[in-house]
Amino acid sequence: MDNKIFSPSIIRSPLSDFYGKEIEDSIKNHPDWYLEEIKKEGFDSVWLHGVLREIVSCSCFPEFGDEKKIYALNKFVEKTAKHGIKVFLYLCEPRGFKEKDKFWEKHSDVKGQPMEFTGIGDLSDKYYALCSSTQKVKDYLYESSYNLFKKVQGLGGVFLITASEFHTHCYSHYPKWKKEVKNFPEMLEWAKQGFYCKRCAEREPYHVVSEIINLINKGVKDADKEVKVITWAWSWNIIEPDPQKKLINELSPDVILMVDWERGGYKFFGGKKYPIDEYSASYIGPSPRFRKIFQTAKKSNLSVMAKIQMATTHELVTIPYLPVIFNFAEKIDRMRKMGINGFLYCWVFGGDISPISKIVGKFNLSEKKKNKIIEETSMAEFGKKTYKYVIKAWKKFSEGFLNYPFEISFIYNGPINYATVYPLDIEAKKIDVIPSWRSLPREKKGHLAIGDNLETWISMSYPVVISQFKKVLYKWQKGINALEEGLKTDKENKRLIKEIDISTHIYLSIKSTINIIDFYLNLRKYRKGDKKSLKILKKIMADELTITKADYTIFKRNRDFGYHPEAHENFLSEDDFKYKIKLLHQDIKKIEKEVKKRWE
């Protein structure tokens, strides 16, 4: 790989489909222009999702493998090599099987710890782990890893998740140290299910996990000494309390450790402490957790990569990028100063070419100062007449976004990603949670099926959420004003118009989210007989009508707004905008009649 400040520096094509034919469609999902651009920007690798058993066979499980995938991978590696780009596979191994899978008819001897998943669509089911304390599974991990890199020569490497995500080894969803997980409700529930694997019960979780990593590493390196094996510390607190000293000390010294940059940090709102347990553009990092694991890894002489999430996060993911440029640049700048070896730029979203990818690339190619890199990028993107206005706007956006009321339930279940088409309805009923990273629920006519479920996506106080978002909007409006000032100097600047559209859409989405909260709070009051709340409801709906019409105009110019890469669905559509506008008109009239009747 090229001599860069960060290596590997891995990005992901926004066209890739994590749950689809990721490998078979890899060539068409990575057009030449994309590979050329990311190489120019300073990235050296892309990643794909892989499952060992679906790619290669081995002597212990000869039914595994797919030569079509091997062929597709070889062709893709050939293509990327022409652009100087390596291919990494994300592996979560040894991948378990569903309870009723035919695999268990032949191989019941490797059946390990069970785990039942609910509420995740087609993936919901009872699974059994492939017990890695059996010799057969150990052989499978080594041999399949070896075969993969022998059959597909030129692969850049793999990165591994060994805790949570999919059900894999016997401790992947069982915290043996359950007495200490009182602050993790989900893990407490897992612990209550009991532990049934007699083989692994005699072992410590960190022995099991380090062995899996080292077996894959040995298989890969025996096939090709030049490739990289990265192990990701994501959710390792299931295996061992932070900073996982015992697990890290047992890793082979040539394994690269990847740690989440933000996870384990905190924000403070309304005098309370809230954890950053996800990717965040509103928290700079590194988190205290990152620092502790980083220091532990350095004592073991391991190279350390950062897992970051650039361009978009679940804080608002249905846009090409969040224009909080200074926040993203500051993250990379701090990584550079800490001496981080490499990074994974994004998960299944955020891989579009954008000002953020260009800025990150410049950090990887030079020692230039942060502000100089931002200035050069803005000038190249927007031109000499307007770039200073854009920088001023980016600064305001970045400052404002730091106030985002980060909370896991909100970013995974809240409506901010489709707030401007969220159909407020005075007939709304109580409903269950709506996961915003899955396809949205719709009623028979195809309209969004929504209702009052505030408690499922807000656990901090409602006034705090609203107050924090208003702080975001205060700075955000100043940023939009700066962009509009810039447009006066260059009225035909299409790129600047796009930036105004992105920023305004975000502003409207946040404002609409505040209205959704206020709407349900006042609807509840109205149903309890509070007359004043009826007039407030009318005011909220009138404001939403203005917001929805404004964003509909923006959407018609920007059909790339509203796509959710993880749900693989467009959360905004013309029909949704039209339906909401129609519904608002109807409900405002109903309220006017009700107000007139009550106050006559």
Query: What percent of the chain is modeled with pLDDT above 90?
Result: 89
Report the distance separating Cα 452 and Cα 340, nearest Å: 45
Label residue 264 left, alpha or beta by phi (over 0 means left) and psi (-120 to 50 means alpha): left
Q: Check residue 188 and give its pLDDT.
A: 79
Q: What is the DSSP secondary structure assignment for residue 312, as one 8-state letter?
A: -
Report the distance separating Cα 436 and Cα 456, nearest Å: 12
Residue 388 has pLDDT above 60, yes or no: yes
pLDDT tens-place string over residues 13-52: 999 999 899 999 999 999 999 999 999 999 999 999 999 9
Q: Check residue 189 and give its pLDDT.
A: 81
Report the distance separating Cα 35 and Cα 16, nearest Å: 13
Q: Check residue 7 and give its pLDDT.
A: 95
| Phi–psi pair at 335, nearest 5 degrees | -60, -45
Amino acid (one-letter) located at 208: V
Instruction: Please tell me whether residue 321 adopts helix, strand or coil conformation.
Output: coil
What is the number of alpha carbons within 13 Å of residue 190 lying toward its C-beta? 24
Query: What percent of the chain is modeled with pLDDT above 70?
Result: 97
> Do β-strands 157-161 and 256-260 pair in parallel, antiparallel, or remain unpaired?
unpaired
Q: Check residue 1 and give its pLDDT.
A: 46
Report the distance separating Cα 162 and Cα 154, nearest Å: 24
Residue 2 has pLDDT above 80, yes or no: no
Cis check: omega of the bond before 565, within 30 degrees of 0: no
Q: Check residue 290 and give its pLDDT.
A: 98
Assess if CATH 1.10.10 describes domain 394-599.
Answer: no
pLDDT tens-place string over residues 414-442: 999 999 999 999 999 999 999 998 899 99
Report the distance separating Cα 168 and Cα 53, nearest Å: 12
Bigger pLDDT: 75 vs 175: 75
pLDDT tens-place string over residues 525-537: 999 999 899 999 9
Structural tokens at position 285: 């990092």
Label residue 195 left, alpha or beta by phi (over 0 means left) and psi (-120 to 50 means alpha): beta
Residue 502's CB is within 10 A of a number of other CB atoms, namely: 22
Report the distance separating Cα 143 and Cα 369, nearest Å: 46
Confirm if 282 and 331 have CB atoms less than 8 A apart.
no
pLDDT tens-place string over residues 351-369: 999 999 999 999 999 899 9
How deeply is 102 buried, as exposed, middle or buried, from its count of CB atoms within 10 A (0-12, 13-18, 19+)?
exposed
Distance of CA 25 to CAs 47, 75, 347, 427, 484, Å?
A: 13, 11, 18, 45, 41
Residue 124 has pLDDT above 90, yes or no: no
Residue 599 has pLDDT above 70, yes or no: no
Q: Taking the CA atoms of the chain, what radius of gyration do you get in angstroms? A: 25
- Lowest-confidence pick of 406-420, 460-474, 499-513, 582-596: 582-596
Q: Check residue 179 and give its pLDDT.
A: 62
Q: Check residue 475 and give its pLDDT.
A: 98
What is the number of alpha carbons within 13 Å of residue 574 lying toward its C-beta? 4
* pLDDT band, residue 573 (cuts 50/70/90): very high
Mean pLDDT of 549-578: 96
Of 462, 579, 565, the residue nearest 515 (C-alpha): 462
pLDDT tens-place string over residues 131-185: 999 999 999 999 999 999 999 999 999 999 999 789 999 999 999 886 666 667 7
Report the distance separating Cα 179 and Cα 213, nearest Å: 26
Contacts of 349 (CB under 8 A, 6+ apart): 14, 311, 312, 317, 564, 565, 566
Q: Check residue 592 and give its pLDDT.
A: 84
Report the distance separating Cα 81 and Cα 35, nearest Å: 10
Cis check: omega of the bond before 275, within 30 degrees of 0: no
Confirm if 320 and 499 have CB atoms less than 8 A apart.
no
Of 35, 581, 572, 579, the residue nearest 319 (C-alpha): 572
Structural tokens at position 121: 């669509």
**Same CATH fold assignment for domains 9-94+134-368 and 394-599:** no
Kindly list the strands in the beta sheet with 111-117, ordered across the sheet, starting from the edge strand earlier in the chain: 97-98, 125-130, 111-117
pLDDT tens-place string over residues 442-482: 999 999 999 999 999 999 999 999 999 999 999 999 999 99
Q: Check residue 182 and give its pLDDT.
A: 67
Cα 244 from chain centre: 24
Q: Check residue 411 and give its pLDDT.
A: 96
CATH class of 9-94+134-368: alpha beta
Residue 189's CB is within 10 A of a number of other CB atoms, namely: 10
Confirm if 502 and 312 have CB atoms less than 8 A apart.
no
Domain spans in the chain, listed from the N-terminal domain onward: 9-94+134-368, 394-599
Confirm if 110 and 134 have CB atoms less than 8 A apart.
yes
DSSP code string of 509-568: HHHHHHHHHHHHHHHHHHHTT-SHHHHHHHHHHHHHHHHHHHHHHHHHH-TTTTEETTTT
